[in-house]
């Protein structure tokens, strides 16, 4: 098992990565579970695979698991989903000093984390991420949120978990499309800040997606270490450092909004497309070589992820996509800083981007090929 600390003043916690962590969850959580009753929120797909394992672990420690099982999918990250979770936590008489377990992907982690940030003005929670995306990204760093009609993650809070248990065994039951989508966020760490890791991804990405546990362990541990370093420097995304983790997301979130936050385009797929767009736009304004932009596209293609927005069947034009971007949380007094690239492994925040030029670029990309 690898243990990666997330160092935050007064709120440090560990991310434990390994096999069999759900079987041993009660031991790992230890005194964080201070009462006999343990509230757990998950979705139906995850419950079908992992509810018995977690229940057995808790029962063996003399605990009574209490389950809320939600419908799977991005639509749970909504006002209705939030109300369902908070009402249930209140009915379960969860107190501020208790810990709620969030068992699932990024949807469950973001939703439950947000509910816990508000419950009685803040109770504890533990992330038990079961998707590759959640293990490498969403369970770490404390961003929690729901979506609204206006856009992605627009209502949320920073609320750090007390512990993250990333059980690599959970990835064995994950559908191939979801594994691939999570891999986009792995590749992101290479593209934004680590050319060596990008090269590792090119060589080993197929093994990660193919289910090789050693490759998955390296991918998860490296990604979590990279994220933990950045979050420790800039927990609340105020200095510009953490904003680099948003590489591909301004484009990607606009595509998710335009496709209705639906199965048509998963978050990881949107991030893959967004990274390609960020690389191509960086090349267009002369800040990235055409060769490096092409390498980002190749890495996305090699993983079987989408790389051309023209294939999405979006009827609207570049202006409509830019209209979604105006809701981006990086928007600052009329300026939208974009995460762009100088090279593979060197992302930067560009505050000089003209949205009219982005609209023209997106219009071209929607027509291309």
Ligand X SMILES: O=C(O)C(=O)C[C@@H](O)[C@H](O)[C@H](O)COP(=O)(O)O
Ligand Y SMILES: NC(=O)c1ccc[n+]([C@@H]2O[C@H](COP(=O)([O-])OP(=O)(O)OC[C@H]3O[C@@H](n4cnc5c(N)ncnc54)[C@H](O)[C@@H]3O)[C@@H](O)[C@H]2O)c1
Binding site per annotation, positions for Zn(2+): 185, 249, 267
Window 126 to 185, contacts with ligand Y (CB under 6 A): 130-131, 133-134, 137-138, 141, 143, 153, 170, 173-174, 178, 181-182
Which of ligand Y, ligand X, none does 74 bind, CB closer than 5 to 8 A by kind? ligand Y
SS3 173: helix
SS (H, E, C) 46-104: HHHHHHHHHHHHHHHCCCEEEEEEECCCHHHCCHHHHHHHHHHHHHCCCCCCCEEEEEE
Structure tokens at 269: 């797929």
Site for ligand X in 307-346 (CB under 6 A): 329
> For residues 240 and 236, what is the distance between their CA atoms, to the nearest angstrom?
10
**Can you tell me the distance from the alpha carbon of 212 to that of 325, in angstroms, rounded to the nearest whole number?**
37
| 246 assigned to active site | yes
Annotated catalytic residue 96:
no
Which residues make beta-bridge pairs with 157? 144
Instruction: Pick the closest to residue 359 from 250, 271, 211, 197 (CA basis).
Output: 250
Minimum distance of ligand Y from residue 31's CB (angstroms): 26
Clarify whether 242 is annotated catalytic. Answer: yes
Q: Which residue in the list 28, 84, 249, 330 is annotated as catalytic?
A: 249
Query: Which of 227, 280, 329, 330 does the annotation list as catalytic?
Result: 227
Tell which positions 253-292 bind ligand Y, by CB under 6 A.
267-268
Out of 98, 178, 185, 258, the only residue in the binding site for ligand X (CB under 6 A) is: 185
CB of 115 to ligand Y, least distance (A): 14
Binding characters for ligand Y, 59-78, by CB under 6 A (x = yes): -------------xxx--x-
Helices (H) and strands (E) in the chain, counts: 13, 11
Q: Is 89 or 245 the residue whose CB approaches ligand X more closely?
A: 245
- 19 catalytic residue (yes or no): no
Which of ligand Y, ligand X, none binds 242 (CB below 5-8 Å, type-dependent)?
ligand X
121 annotated active-site: yes
Residues 130-159 that bind ligand X (CB under 6 A): 137, 141, 143, 145, 153
Rounded Cα–Cα distance for residues 51 and 189 (Å): 31
- Residue 249: name its binding partner from ligand Y, ligand X, none (Cβ under 5 to 8 Å by kind): ligand X
Phi-psi region of 149 (alpha: psi -120 to 50; beta: other; left: phi over 0): alpha
The Cα 175–Cα 186 span in angstroms is: 17
178 binds, among ligand X, ligand Y, none (CB under 5 to 8 A by kind): ligand Y
Whether residue 237 lies in the annotated active site:
yes
Closest by Cα among 166, 161, 107 to 136:
166
Out of 249, 266, 303, 336, the only residue in the binding site for ligand X (CB under 6 A) is 249
Q: List Cα–Cα distances, 95 to 83, 143, 157, in angstroms.
A: 17, 22, 19
Question: Beta strands 2-6 and 13-18: pairing type?
Answer: antiparallel
Q: How many residues bind ligand X (CB under 6 A)?
A: 11
* Cα 136 to the center of its chain, rounded Å: 8
**Which of the 8 DSSP states describes residue 335?**
B
Closest CB 247 distance from ligand X, rounded Å? 8
User: Where along the sequence are the contacts to ligand Y (CB under 6 A)?
Assistant: 43, 45-46, 49, 72-74, 77, 104-108, 110, 130-131, 133-134, 137-138, 141, 143, 153, 170, 173-174, 178, 181-182, 267-268
Interface ranges with ligand X (CB under 6 A):
137, 141, 143, 145, 153, 185, 242, 245-246, 249, 329
Residues with catalytic annotation? 121, 143, 185, 227, 237, 242, 246, 249, 253, 267
């Amino acid at each position: 098992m690898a243990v990666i600390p997330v160092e935050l003043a007064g709120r440090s916690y560990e991310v434990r990565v390994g096999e069999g962590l759900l079987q041993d969850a009660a031991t790992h959580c230890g005194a964080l579970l201070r009462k006999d009753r343990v509230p757990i929120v998950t979705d139906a797909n995850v419950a079908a695979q992992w509810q018995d394992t977690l229940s057995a672990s808790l029962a063996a420690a003399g605990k009574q698991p209490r389950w809320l099982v939600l419908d799977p999918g991005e639509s749970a990250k909504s006002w209705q989903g939030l109300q369902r979770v908070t009402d249930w936590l209140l009915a379960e008489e969860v107190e501020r000093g208790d810990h709620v377990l969030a068992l699932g992907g990024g949807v469950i982690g973001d939703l439950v984390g947000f509910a816990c940030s508000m419950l009685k003005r803040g109770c504890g929670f533990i992330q038990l991420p079961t998707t590759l995306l959640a293990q490498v990204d969403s369970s770490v760093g404390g961003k929690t949120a729901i979506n609204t009609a206006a856009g992605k993650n627009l209502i949320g809070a920073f609320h750090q978990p007390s512990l993250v248990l990333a059980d690599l065994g959970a990835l064995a039951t994950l559908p191939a499309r979801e594994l691939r989508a999570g891999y986009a966020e792995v590749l992101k760490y290479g593209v934004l800040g680590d050319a060596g890791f990008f090269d590792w991804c090119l060589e080993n990405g197929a093994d990660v997606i193919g289910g090789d546990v050693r490759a998955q362990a390296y991918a998860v541990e490296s990604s979590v270490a990279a994220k933990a370093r950045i979050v420790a420097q800039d927990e609340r995304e105020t200095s510009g450092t953490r904003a680099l983790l948003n590489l591909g997301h301004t484009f990607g979130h606009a595509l998710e909004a335009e496709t209705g936050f639906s199965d048509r385009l998963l978050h990881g797929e949107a991030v893959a497309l967004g990274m390609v767009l960020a690389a191509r736009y960086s090349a267009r304004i002369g800040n990235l070589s055409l060769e490096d932009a092409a390498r980002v596209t190749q890495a996305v293609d090699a993983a079987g992820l989408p790389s051309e927005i023209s294939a999405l069947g979006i009827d609207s034009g570049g202006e409509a996509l830019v209209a979604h971007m105006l809701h981006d949380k990086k928007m600052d007094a009329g300026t939208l800083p974009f995460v762009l690239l100088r090279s593979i492994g060197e992302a930067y925040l560009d505050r000089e981007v003209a949205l009219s030029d982005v609209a023209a670029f997106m219009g071209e990309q929607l027509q291309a090929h």
